[in-house]
Structure 1
Amino acid sequence: MKKFISFLLALVIVISQGNFIFANTKEAKLDIASKSAVLMDASTGKVLYEKNSHQKLPPASVTKVMTLLLICEALEDGKIKEEDDVQISENAASMGGSQIFLEPGEIQKVDTLVKSIAVASANDACVAMAEYVGGSMEEFVDLMNKRAKELGMKDTNFVNTNGLPVDDHYTSAYDIALMSKELLSHKKISKYLTTWMDEVVVGKKQAKIGISNTNKLVKHYAGATGVKTGFTQQAKYCLSASAMRNNTHLIAVTLCAETSPIRFKDATSLLNYGFANYESVKICGAKDKVATVKFEKGEKENVDLVAKDNLSVLVKKGDKKDFQKKVEIKQDLKLPIKKNTELGVVKVYRGKELVGETKIINNEDINKASYLQMLRRIVDNLL
């Protein structure tokens, strides 16, 4: 009996030591070599891992995440269209570094320029679009800094649109994750960010130039959705990488890696860690019905309200999924109300902690009832 008990005690010690070693091995896999890094859930903005995530560093071409975001917003607001013609300025054509060799005076479509920025990191295309959207590069940079503040990017100051070396141009891994998260919410950008190889026709002689994505994870990492690479001698090797598996969408940012393989290795380690340990639980999808509101003076008395965006909650694998959903509708809504107006919010709680939320909108116009409709309604109620 004593021998059996001794054997059990020895077995417990071995298992405990094994678990301890396993835990250390797991941490070793997250031994990130890049100077700064962060892993963020793209749905909720929850940080899952960070290393010097708020350190202000030059981002090189990862700057273009904000440039692409402003272009996406201009497209969705109807200010510009993909088929618009853009005349290339001498300033845009003079950009060095990564480029598609645009010539002053040539005409390019917005679609071609956006593709060239997202896939080939083209500095000339970047400046051309900044001038087209903002009126000038300086005004566009002002828009970049304004949008950064709106997104809560407190470690950021932009001086140009493409990340070429310049004084006082900096951001952080955390801020890059924030603007990457916002960019990925625009579905139209996906076709550009996930293109591996393509070609564009440029120059007054209409020469075909092959372009390939600078983000190798687009081809080599399962579920990759973007986002952007960057390199200068000062910034070293930078990367914002994103991937989606099942319903889980993650963003890994690495800054100031000594070599290009290191940035991709670090980002891969971060993404693998995230997918191995976390999962997203879908609460509702975009356009799913979440509430019905009564408008006594409305043309339609009962109107369904829907979620503006997909709403998911990130949890550790194996954790209980005990969520409570709360719908809050704005008070004193006045008619008429145009389609897609934000009328409230749906919030998800885990206990007392707010773990997710999305806006509530109407998916149809809500107009006032006519006098005849109101009269009929009064009569029906009386009867």
Structure 2
Amino acid sequence: MIDKSVRKNKRQRFQRTLASLMLFNILCFSAAPAVSLAAPNMLATADTTKATEDKAATDKATTNNAKPDKVPSVDQLSLEVSSAVLIEPSTGQVLLSINADEALPPASMTKMMTEYIVAEKVKQGELAWDDVVTVGENAEKTVGSRIFLAEGDQHTVEELYIAMAVGSANDATVALAEHIAGSEAEFVTLMNDTAKKMGLKTAFFINSTGLSRADMPEKYRPAEDKETVMSAMDTALLAKYIVEDHPDFARFTAIQSHKFRPRDTSPIINYNWMLEANKSITNFKAYAYEGLDGLKTGHTNAAGYCFAGTAERDGMRLISVVMGTKSEGARFKETKKVLDYGFDNFEVKEVQAAGATVQGFETVEVKKGKGKEAGLVTDKALTFVVPKGSSGKNITFEAKLDSSSVTAPVAKDTKVGTATYSYKIEGMKETQTETVNLITAGEVEKAGWFKLFLRAIGDFFADLFDSIKNLF
């Protein structure tokens, strides 16, 4: 047994010696090319390590040290309103805000939600413009602005929609609500659910029209003693949904007048005096505003005179809301101040194209790839609202990678991090922010085993040389 043990130990020593000789031959064979590859890679490794360390921490940078962009203060407008707001819908940027988050009675601006839901139903194929609506008791008994519908009357969805959008007809609005949901109460549930989906923080509806509870037909009043409320900000966001989800909105809201029935002695006149087309109408030309094509007026004793307006000039659309003004004409005069402030001082500018590199985050390390790095670019363009004539100075960013490295194979357009840009304009309350993804500019295939083996040898010698260097 001792002889067998000795023979086994000798055999193991022989195998280890043979393996050592083979490894020595491999290393000697690979030494020359390995050294030639290792030398440049030493610097690359050091740089990559530093870049990785930089990217692991959040980086902050500024484009230049110029003075911040500036716009006039909104205080100089001397607005006579309970609240007001101005937004640029494509970016969602708030350009002016006065008491904009307070929940107030919106009066007939409420109908914007009814309009949105009807248009959505048509868009989704659940409703057609030529569907026939039969008027019920609730619509007939509804007061305020109306077209004097009688129970049993029949009109198309489009006819009633025009009466609602142009003449703010409460009876037409109720008829549409009941046609869609079976009752106005059920439609109100749909309105409040839609408001939540839109992210409207203050909006609460008790009816489809904006009438005060006491002005509703008694039989159809909600049991809960509450009123419809909506802030100027939420009204503007609702308008944003209308203009973006239904870009053909103006085919209704820009109608100046409409004869509802052939027998009617006079047409419905649009309550929106600011329509650009009114510049040739004697009574309204003082209010007509270039590019204005919507959206909705409102008035009750509780709400005062309100208006959600939208206009487009030189490719930029703005949405304004004023609430609680003192008269019918005042709501348009105050709206003009708000819109003028926007068009006179701002423009939308693409300050960085999609596919741009971010300083300090040009690459990410790739493990086990044919290449050791993948280039990084932004996945979309960077757009801000800037002061007119400005290039958008003093934009800062914070960028980070999800991980310090990725493992091959890596597909093109793989998200590996984010960059958040911030832009502050003096004279504006809010700082504009926009986040873009950092994605790989191309694919990186996985390297074969032999390439990985040679790379490991190169890395071994690089580490060895570093160790030797550090001894001196």
> Is this a same-fold pair by TM over 0.5?
yes
Asked if residue 217 in structure 1 is aligned to residue 296 in structure 2, the reply is: no
Equivalent of residue 317 in structure 1, options 388, 401, 408: 388
Question: 8 Å contact 1:312–1:356 — kept in the other structure?
Answer: no
Please show how residues 123-202 of structure 1 align to structure 2 within 5 Å.
123-166=170-213, 167-185=226-244, 186-201=246-261
- Please state how far the C-alpha of 1:105 moved relative to its aligned partner: 0.6
Q: Deviations over 1:131-163 (max 9, x none)?
A: 112221111111111111111111111000100
Q: Residue in 1 aligned with 2:331? A: 263
Assess, with a 3 A threshold, how the Cα gap between structure 1 residues 190 and 257 changes in structure 2: closer, same or farther: same
Assess, with a 3 A threshold, how the Cα gap between structure 1 residues 112 and 273 changes in structure 2: closer, same or farther: same
SS of residue in 1 equivalent to 2:230: coil
Assess, with a 3 A threshold, how the Cα gap between structure 1 residues 27 and 354 changes in structure 2: closer, same or farther: closer
Question: 8 Å contact 1:115–1:192 — kept in the other structure?
Answer: yes
Higher relative contact order (CA 8 A, sep 6+): 2
Equivalent of residue 277 in structure 1, options 317, 342, 345: 345
Assess, with a 3 A threshold, how the Cα gap between structure 1 residues 123 and 350 changes in structure 2: closer, same or farther: same
- Please state how far the C-alpha of 1:316 moved relative to its aligned partner: 2.0
Structure 2: distance between partners of 1:31 and 1:312: 30
- Please state how far the C-alpha of 1:258 moved relative to its aligned partner: 1.4
Q: Residue in 2 aligned with 1:232? A: 300
Letter in 1 for 2:203: T
TM-score when normalising by structure 2: 0.56
SS of residue in 1 equivalent to 2:77: coil
Structure 2: distance between partners of 1:112 and 1:86: 10
Structure 2: distance between partners of 1:276 and 1:36: 21
Q: Deviations over 1:161-218 (max 9, x none)?
A: 100112331111000000011111202321111111121117xxx5465011101111
Assess, with a 3 A threshold, how the Cα gap between structure 1 residues 349 and 76 changes in structure 2: closer, same or farther: farther
Q: Deviations over 1:97-146 (max 9, x none)?
A: 00011111111011111111110000000001111122211111111111
Letter in 2 for 1:100: I
Please tell me whether Structure 1 or Structure 2 has the larger radius of gyration of its CA atoms: 2
Equivalent of residue 355 in structure 1, options 431, 434, 450: 434
Asked if residue 112 in structure 1 is aligned to residue 159 in structure 2, the reply is: yes
Question: 8 Å contact 1:44–1:356 — kept in the other structure?
Answer: no
TM-score when normalising by structure 1: 0.69
SS of residue in 1 equivalent to 2:180: helix
Question: 8 Å contact 1:55–1:172 — kept in the other structure?
Answer: yes
SS of residue in 2 equivalent to 1:271: helix
Q: Going by fraction, where is strand more abundant, 1 or 2?
A: 1
Asked if residue 250 in structure 1 is aligned to residue 328 in structure 2, the reply is: no
Q: Residue in 1 aligned with 2:462? A: none
Question: 8 Å contact 1:200–1:208 — kept in the other structure?
Answer: no
User: How many equivalent pairs are there?
Assistant: 288
Question: 8 Å contact 1:42–1:181 — kept in the other structure?
Answer: yes
Specify every segment of 5 or more residues in structure 2 that has no aligned partner in the other structure, as ranges.
Answer: 1-70, 214-225, 279-287, 352-380, 398-414, 424-431, 437-472
Structure 2: distance between partners of 1:312 and 1:103: 51
Question: 8 Å contact 1:313–1:356 — kept in the other structure?
Answer: no
SS of residue in 2 equivalent to 1:201: coil
SS of residue in 2 equivalent to 1:318: coil
Structure 1: distance between partners of 2:158 and 2:298: 22
SS of residue in 1 equivalent to 2:297: strand
Question: 8 Å contact 1:236–1:257 — kept in the other structure?
Answer: yes
Asked if residue 80 in structure 1 is aligned to residue 130 in structure 2, the reply is: no
Structure 2: distance between partners of 1:311 and 1:118: 36
- Percent sequence identity is 35
SS of residue in 1 equivalent to 2:306: strand
Structure 2: distance between partners of 1:86 and 1:311: 46
Assess, with a 3 A threshold, how the Cα gap between structure 1 residues 198 and 312 changes in structure 2: closer, same or farther: farther
Equivalent of residue 53 in structure 1, options 86, 100, 113: 100
Question: 8 Å contact 1:43–1:312 — kept in the other structure?
Answer: no
Structure 1: distance between partners of 2:75 and 2:382: 33
SS of residue in 1 equivalent to 2:207: coil
Question: 8 Å contact 2:422–2:434 — kept in the other structure?
Answer: no
Letter in 2 for 1:279: E
